[in-house]
């Protein structure tokens, strides 16, 4: 854990170097369509005082107010760490140009609290970014400026994390694989839509039971699949980012089957 502790404030910082000009990188991290192309579906009013809303699943919106807006350089969005009554957290995003057509993207989460009660949540934020920053880097390397159609599927399990991943990863052929290995969804009666590509990396961040894939089917893109503890249960997720002219049709065709697969195996808890 690398939580920095000051009077009335706790913070964590994560950064990544990515290819692109400040203009290209800013579009990717500070606009709704850009963020949706590598993270989660996001709506953004790109101005000081505007709202930034990230959707992590059905009924799982995270809203923040943009309190500072300096185009191409920095913005800050402030919201609640959890439910009503939880402390405020400010998230600062910045872009710093580097030589060779690259930029450093830096995110700082600052929690306004004087106790250690929320340090684990801050640590989770810090450890969760490496996988998504890898998706961001792949997006800027291969797909920047291309239309993106995403598919986001989330379910929950009362089983331990490893057991949930054994079920989900087993059905998807994502167990006992290695980076660089060719992969495709196993064929089965009445099976899932075709999806395939190459294993990019395993276990990025704190979550061991995760896989990042570079896709060539049903369209060029990436996919992030995993199971990890969340609020006393285990969340199973599959985030798919498809790019190019065929992306929208593929997402519209395949999303219902993937949603049914998730709902049948990992239903949302009663009451949402």
* Average pLDDT for 10-28: 94
Note the pLDDT tens digit of each residue in 20-70: 999 999 999 999 999 999 999 999 999 999 999 999 888 889 999 999 999
* Average pLDDT for 168-174: 95
The pLDDT-based confidence of 117 (bands split at 50, 70, 90) is low
Q: What integer pLDDT is reported at residue 135 of this predicted model?
A: 95
Give the tokens for residue 20.
């692109």
Query: What rounded mean pLDDT belongs to the chain?
Result: 90
The pLDDT-based confidence of 271 (bands split at 50, 70, 90) is low
Q: What integer pLDDT is reported at residue 265 of this predicted model?
A: 95
Residue 165 — φ and ψ, nearest 5°?
-70, -35
Q: Which CATH architecture has domain 4-143?
A: 2-Layer Sandwich (3.30)
Q: What integer pLDDT is reported at residue 121 of this predicted model?
A: 72
* Average pLDDT for 152-164: 94
Rg (CA), the chain: 19
Query: What SS3 state is found at 100?
Result: coil
Contact by Cβ (8 Å): 87, 81 = yes
Domain spanning 148-265, CATH class: alpha beta
Longest Cα–Cα distance in the chain: 59
Note the pLDDT tens digit of each residue in 214-267: 999 999 999 999 998 876 789 999 999 999 999 999 999 999 999 999 999 999
* Average pLDDT for 102-106: 98
DSSP letter, residue 97: E
pLDDT over 70 for what percent of the chain? 90
Give the tokens for residue 259.
């949603």
Domains 4-143 and 148-265 share a fold: yes
Domain boundaries, the chain: 4-143, 148-265
The pLDDT-based confidence of 74 (bands split at 50, 70, 90) is very high
Contact by Cβ (8 Å): 125, 109 = yes
Check residues 69 and 6 and name the one with the higher pLDDT.
Answer: 69
Does the bond joining 218 to the residue before it have cis omega, within 30 degrees of 0? yes
Tell me whether residue 250 is exposed, middle or buried, using C-beta atoms within 10 angstroms of its C-beta: 0 to 12, 13 to 18, 19 or more: buried
Contact by Cβ (8 Å): 184, 173 = yes
Residue 176, number of CB atoms within 10 A of its CB: 8
Please check the confidence at residue 197 and state whether its pLDDT lies above 90. Answer: yes
Provide the whole-model pTM.
Answer: 0.90
* Average pLDDT for 200-215: 84
Contact by Cβ (8 Å): 74, 53 = no
């Amino acid at each position: 854990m690398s939580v920095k502790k000051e009077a009335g404030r706790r913070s964590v910082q994560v950064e990544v170097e990515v290819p692109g000009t400040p203009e290209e990188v800013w579009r990717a991290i500070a606009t709704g369509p850009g963020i949706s192309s590598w993270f989660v579906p996001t709506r953004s009013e790109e101005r000081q005082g505007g709202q930034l809303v990230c959707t992590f699943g059905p009924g799982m919106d995270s809203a923040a107010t943009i309190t500072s807006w300096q185009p191409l350089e920095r913005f800050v969005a402030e919201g609640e760490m959890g439910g009503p009554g939880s402390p405020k957290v400010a998230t600062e995003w910045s872009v710093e140009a580097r030589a060779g057509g690259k930029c450093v993207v830096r995110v700082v989460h600052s929690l306004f609290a004087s106790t250690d009660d929320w340090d684990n949540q801050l640590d989770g934020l810090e450890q969760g970014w490496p996988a998504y920053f890898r998706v961001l880097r792949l997006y800027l390397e291969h797909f920047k400026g291309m239309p993106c159609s995403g598919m986001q599927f989330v379910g929950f399990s009362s089983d331990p994390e490893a057991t949930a991943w054994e079920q989900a990863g087993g059905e998807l052929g994502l167990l006992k694989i290695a980076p660089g290995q060719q992969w495709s969804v196993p064929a089965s009666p009445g099976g899932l839509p075709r999806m395939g590509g190459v294993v990019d990396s395993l276990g990025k961040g704190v979550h061991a039971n995760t896989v990042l894939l570079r896709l060539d089917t049903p369209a060029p893109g990436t996919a992030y699949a995993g199971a990890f503890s969340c609020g006393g249960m285990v969340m199973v997720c599959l985030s798919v980012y498809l790019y190019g002219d065929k992306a929208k049709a593929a997402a519209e065709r395949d999303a219902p089957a993937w949603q049914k697969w998730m709902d049948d195996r990992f239903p949302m808890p009663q009451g949402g």
